[in-house]
A and B are shown apart, each in its own frame.
Chain A
Amino acid sequence: MGHSIAQKIIARAAGRERVGVGEYVNVSPDYTCCQEIYWPIHKRHMQQIGVSRIARPEKVVMVVDHTTTAAMGSPYHRIHRELRDFARQSGLENFFGPGTGLRHLVLTERGFARPGMLVFSDEPNIASIGALGALNVPVSWEVVATLIGDENWVAVPKSARIELKGAFPFGVLVRDLAQVINRDHGNTDRLLQTCVEYAGAISSLSLDDRQSLLACAFHAGADTSVMQVDETALDYVSQRAAGRPYFVFEADPDAQYSFRATYDLQALSPMVTVPPGMNTVVGVEELRGTRVDQATIGSCASNRLDDLRAAAAILKGRRISRHVTMYISPGSREVYAAAAREGLLEIFIDAGATVLAPGCNTCWGYLGVLNDNQVSISTHQFNFQGRNGSRSARVNLAGPYVVAASAVAGSIVDPRPLLAERAESP
């Protein structure tokens, strides 16, 4: 019986020839990745265990990404300082302070996410690193185990396979695909406790889009997600690896999959996920005219350069509606700088949007908090009640075309007419 990519990555990290699905195995990760929010919890746990030393400092990637700016009255100014001090004392070379970007992007941009790497992290959405053939094992605050001990257990997951075919039609983005996948599987058991392997027409997707797609797999129930790497991915990795090793694994032709599905990208259209669940996903026309108070571009599923380009394609030369507040959070300093060089930031500012420092920002409700009964349209990852402030606020999720077009219109609209206008008069 053949093996999946996840099995091969876990076998390598376990120092084994092969591992079977369902087996409990001990592994030594290539990296442990964590952020600042749980630092007080990690600190307390280390004190309780009686260990103050980091086992393998070179394997730790610690990023301040949730709170790029510590607000008055928040505990984060203290946490930022403590983390910096701890990183220095512990010899953590891979500590990245506020504004560097989200862990997801730091891992890829700085060459930590390479094919065959196994990463324990504190978040399931970091499955985005699977776009470069690395495997994220989300363990929440349990990252403390590998911070101090360099080993932990995993249950080898089943693998599911989603084949893509074709290419996106005009006005459709990867978020539309991701939201349709969540609609189809999120309230079923099909992808639960699996690693989703994406295959097929991957090369028609940009690396940014691949990461966005994988970052959403968790909302369809998957534990993690990974992709076969192609030349585009390997070119990117070779530029960033800085001589560090990597191991390209392919799924065996007779690998076992617990579930298979195929998506024809050509058949998709702009979609909106309606709160408060991930499974009610409708064509944008069904919500046409829904007034919005806030529009946000950001989150680990839509904060890369391609996402900002998509928003700018709509916003260029246009103004957002007077009653809309729009926040844009670039995913990293690298993305921020590239957006500046391309003139995207100027487009956003001229349109009346506010560009925030690179970070998670609005997605977890730290910034841009919604009041009672307010409505937002957003590229965020979550839409349950109370995620972004009041429980009576409603967070609609969509791709950056829909979000930007709705910000201009002041209500939810199909972005394609605005894009078509642009195409006709460049």
Chain B
Amino acid sequence: MSIVGRVWKFGDGVCGDDGIIQFSRINDLGSYDEPALKAMCFELVNPDFPKQVVAGDLVVAGHTFAHHSHPHVCVALKASGIAAVVVESCDSGFVRKALNIGLPVVTCPGVTGLVQPFETLEVDLEKGEVRHPASGANLPVRPFSERMLGIVAAGGLIPFLKLQYSARAT
């Protein structure tokens, strides 16, 4: 499973709840207002992002990316059309929350030194490789498990579980 896209690049320490989104503008934590989340996505860090991001773009970011994230952070990225996130580092909770809505996040030390804004990057989840066509460089990342690949392929945990449960019922 390979994902190719144009890169939006961010630095270190981008907070999820007050960086990628703005927690103070979330009125109801029990629902997702996708248009509002898309409109605020990265507005605090790069105001061009919500205006110019297109479906299939990738996010490359530095260390401790998306620390302090409610699930709405991942929904904002997904609603913006982001196809994958490649970071120097992040916590496991962010990886799971993103995976569960079908957004793969990979930890790839060295990626920010390799890729420039708006270059193309390729992420191979199955093989565990991030490829940078401009330089020809390949960086190893931890391959996704079969289950994680299944969740990405299904478009998220809920459609994945739906497939599993409906298969059991028949």
Determine whether the beta carbon of A39 is less than 8 Å from that of B13: no
Q: How far is the CA of A391 from the CA of B169 in the complex (A)?
A: 49
Contact A391 B28 (CB under 8 A): no
Chain B residue with minimal CB distance to A45? B158
Cα distance, A177 to B159, chains bound together (Å): 44
CB-CB under 8 A from B96, the residues of chain A are: 139-140, 142
On whether the beta carbons of B162 and A391 are closer than 8 Å, the reply is no
Q: How far is the CB of A391 from chain B (nearest CB, A)?
A: 5
Task: Please report the C-alpha to C-alpha distance between residue A140 and residue B16 in the assembled complex, in whole angstroms.
Answer: 14
Q: A124 at the A/B interface (Cβ < 8 Å)?
A: yes
Residues of chain B within 8 A (CB-CB) of A277 are 13, 15
B100 touches A141 (CB 8 A): yes
Contact partner of A22 (CB less than 8 A), chosen from B17, B91, B142, is B142
A382-B68, A386-B24, A390-B24 are contacts. A40–B31 as well, Cβ < 8 Å? yes
Q: Of all chain A residues, which has the CB nearest B90?
A: A192
**B140, CB-defined interface residue at 8 Å:** no
What count of chain A residues pass the 8 Å CB interface test? 49
- Report Cα–Cα, A398/B71, bound state, in Å: 27
Q: Which residue of A lies closest to B25 (CB)?
A: A386
A193 touching B13 in the complex, CB below 8 Å, given contacts A24-B147, A49-B165, A384-B68: no
Give the chain A neighbours of B24 by CB distance below 8 A.
Answer: 365, 385-387, 389-391
Q: Does more than half of chain A's interface fall in helix, strand or loop, or is it mixed?
A: loop
- Is there contact, CB below 8 Å, between A386 and B18? yes
The verdict on A197 contacting chain B, using a C-beta distance below 8 Å, is: no
Contacts of B31 in A (CB 8 A): 40-41
- Is B23 in the interface zone, CB < 8 Å from A? yes
Chain A stretch 258-273: residues in CB contact (< 8 A) with chain B: none
Do A391 and B22 touch across chains, with their CB atoms under 8 A apart?
yes
Which A residues are CB-close (under 8 A) to B92? 155, 157, 193, 223
CB within 8 Å of B: which residues of A?
22, 24, 37-41, 45, 48-51, 75, 79, 124, 138-142, 144-145, 148-149, 153, 155, 157, 186-189, 192-193, 218-219, 221-223, 276-277, 365, 382, 384-387, 389-391
**Given A38-B71, A141-B71, A384-B17, 18 further pairs, Cβ under 8 A:** A24-B147, A40-B31, A51-B165, A140-B71, A140-B93, A141-B97, A186-B67, A187-B12, A187-B64, A188-B63, A189-B64, A382-B68, A384-B68, A385-B18, A386-B24, A387-B18, A387-B23, A391-B18
